[in-house]
Structures are given as structure tokens and as C-alpha cells.
Amino acid sequence: MTTVYERRAAPPVPVVPRRSPAGAVLALLWAGAAAVVGLWWYGTPSVVGSAGVLTGAGRIAGLLCGYACAVLVGLMARVPLLERRVGSDRVARWHAMAGRYTVCLLVAHVVLIVLGYAAQDRDSVWHEALSIVLDYPEMLKAALGTVILLAVGVTSARAVRRRTSHEFWYYVHLLTYAAVFLAFGHQLALGDQFNGHTVATAAWYVLYLGVAALVLRYRVLAPVRLNLRHRLRVESVHPEAPGVYSVVVSGHRLDELGARPGQFFRWRFLAEGMGWTSTPYSLSAPPRPDRLRITVKALGDHSAAVPLLRPGTRVWAEGPYGSLTADRRTAHKSLLIAGGVGITPLRALFETLPGEVTLLYRARTAEDLALGAELEAIARWRGARVLYALNGPNGERPAITVASLRACVADLSGHDVYLCGPHAFAQGLYEVLRAAGVPDRRIHHESFEL
């Protein structure tokens, strides 16, 4: 059974594409790192001997690690400029890369400082390490923060994440805030670059307090305001395909959320066994003033429990997030390519994207085509095309190649292409599209794998 969601009467006014601020944000972050190195250079009069080299290198690593901690937290503060203009997937990749840099710099800082101090004091490495932790100000807290950060780093490794639940990873990850708080004091107490340097100390406080303000504003206050104001509840749950269900969520003044087709929210259903998990699901229909809809495939414990939701269940949501919207459009013609449940954000875009639109939907069988009746209705209404790539009678997968895409879509290189599906599916299609001459700036995709 397919639930037909209300369609708009006409396509929206074309949207003027906006340039992503990703380059400017990256330039700003690297400029901050350069300023931190400059701070060390200015505050270090000379480096003498092997002990001085080790200690100097350890201090550079420590300063950069402190800066990286602030960047790490700031990137996951869910600032709208980053989430909606740069893209949640790109910000998540930056966060993952910053995490790797942070752990490497932390290890380098600890090892180099201990070796440098041991060489300077002509003492054993083990005895010097104990002396630093037990005798230096703020170091017991910093040592605990170091252990926490290393634990977060280990649990974030792909090999470990595959063997642990999302909930475990998520709640361990939240300890990053505690680790940064515990380590902050020793940076100012023991950093030669801050002792007696009012401007440098003030700048470090501004950096950390600014990041803390972003977290408080967008990770705490914004979700609380959203949910108190809009009072979301489950209105209904409908089957769409085998293992695929749509959830209609009602609320008050939902048009004030500013949600766009192609975006997603993080959803927490306050039902038994589900309230501890917050999961990203895209809107599978354009948002309405009184309703939102998501479509979910049962892939894990949380998504498998979605069909059991009862009308009236309270919902805690955060968002909207994501930049897979009409703002990315650069051409009059668009090609949407969906794999499996990746159809959800593209179904909303299929209805609302201006210009000529073609949708290619990859699924195993005709029974797996979630929202198929809606797609056909929208195609007739707006004069668009829907193409399907289904497995053959014996289960053979159709190859989506440069030749097959060009045969289906004239002037392929002149289209904007929106991709959504499993990571391997999207990566393979990206390479095919680039080989077909589609410019990188016209291939739009969001992935939520860290």
C-alpha cells in the first residue's frame, strides 16, 4: 500500500544557486592553525639542545591540539551556516579528520613533552611522567581528559565502530566535552605562550567560550525551543514497500521551521526502547504547515521499531539539516538518482525542483519501489520522467554505465545530478558521472558515514 501525500498545485519559483562557503571556512580554520604556530614562535625565544627541540616540538603539538579540540567541538555544534550551506556530510568528514589530527597531536604532545623533560632533568621517562602528572598544576585533570580523548578516538575508528552499537559510540563521543573541559586549565597554567601574555590568554578564552556558546545555542537551546514551540507527535504510520514505512508527524506552525525539500531532521521517538536514540531521517515529501513526513527502511533496531509507533507518540526533533536542496542547482535540467531508501529526499526534490527533471530509481524488484505511485503521479502532473533500474528475473543487477546514462538522458553533462543511496552505490555513480563529463560542481550528494 502506498500513501499518497498531498501535492502542490504548481512547481515553485526557480531558486538562484548560492555559492558554498566551504572554501572560506577551511581557509579560516587553517589561518587559525597558522596563528597558533605564530603564537609559539613569538613566545619561544630560543631552542637549545635535544631537550629543547623535544620540548619545543611538544609545545607546538600541544598548542595545535588545544586549537584542534576547539575546532572539533565547533564543527559538531550544528551551526546552520555549516549544516545548510556547507553540508552535513562535508562537515562530518571535516570533524572526523579533525578528530584524527587531534588524537595524533595529543599523542605527539604527551610523548615529546615527557621525553624532553626527562632529557632536561636527566631522569627516567617513567619517573618524569609520574612527576608531571602528580606535581604539576592542573595535570591530574589534564591526564583524565587525555584518557577520555584517547578512548573517544579508539571508539571512533571504523574497525571498532562496526562492532559497537550507534548508541554506545554516540554517548562515548559526548565525553569529548568533558575531556576538553578537563584539559583546558593546564593549557593556560603551563603554557609559556600564555604566562604573562594577556592578549594570547584572552584570545584563547574567546576561542573556547565562543565554541561553548555555539554548542549551547545550537545543540541545547535551539532543540528545546523547537520542540516546546512545535509540539511534534506521530500522526500515522503507513507501509510503503516490504520493510519500508512512512511516518507522518504533526505539529504546530511547522512552516516556521524553514525546512526545505531534501533536508533531514534528527528524530527521537519518545516510545518504549526508542527514546535513547536520535537518528537522521530525510523528509520524504515537501513540508507542510501542519505535517512532516519521513520514510524509513528497517535496517537496525531503531528503524525496525518504527512500524510499531502509535499515533500520539511524542517526537523530539532537531533540525532541519543538510544542503541537498534546490540551492545547489546550477542548470535548468536535473537528474535525480536514488538507490533503495535513498529515494526519500529525492522524492521531495522530484516534486519541487524547478526546470526539467528526470528521476532514475534503482531497486531490486518492483515490489521494493517505495513511494512508486507518488512518483508516477508527480511525473504526470509536472511532465517529468521516472526511469527504473530493477534486477533481472534471475537477480542480475543492471549496470549503470556512461553509455546507459547517456542513452537515457540527453545532454547528461548539462544536468545537475542529485545522488542519494548507500555509500558504495553513490561512489560508483560519482565515478561514472565524472567519466560521462558531468562537472564535479554539478554532482550533489550527502553521505552520513563518518
pLDDT top residue among 126 and 48? 126
pLDDT value at 15 more than 50 = no
Helices 88-121 and 125-135: crossing angle, nearest 10°?
110
Would you place residue 449 in the very low, low, confident or very high pLDDT band (cuts 50, 70, 90)? low
Q: Which residues contact 298 (CB under 8 A, 6 or more apart)?
A: 243, 244, 245, 304, 306, 307
CA atoms in the 13 A half-sphere facing the CB of 405? 27
**pLDDT tens track for 273-326:** 788 888 899 999 999 999 999 999 877 767 788 888 999 999 999 999 988 999
Neighbours of 256 (CB within 10 A): 11
Neighbours of 109 (CB within 10 A): 21
Q: Quick one: pLDDT at residue 47? A: 78
Q: Quick one: pLDDT at residue 1? A: 34
What is the average pLDDT score of the chain? 88
- DSSP assignment of 138-192: THHHHHHHHHHHHHHHHHHSHHHHTTS-HHHHHHHHTHHHHHHHHHHHHHHHH-T
CA 116, 117, 122 angle in degrees (round to 5)? 100
Q: Quick one: pLDDT at residue 4? A: 38
Q: Are 102 and 33 in contact (CB under 8 A)?
A: no
Averaged pLDDT, 28-48: 87
pLDDT value at 2 more than 50 = no
For the entire predicted model, the pTM comes to 0.83
Q: Are 346 and 323 in contact (CB under 8 A)?
A: no
pLDDT value at 7 more than 50 = no
Q: Quick one: pLDDT at residue 17? A: 55
Q: Quick one: pLDDT at residue 181? A: 94
Omega cis (within 30) before 239: no
**pLDDT tens track for 210-227:** 999 999 999 999 999 999
Q: Percent of the chain scored above 90 by pLDDT?
A: 57
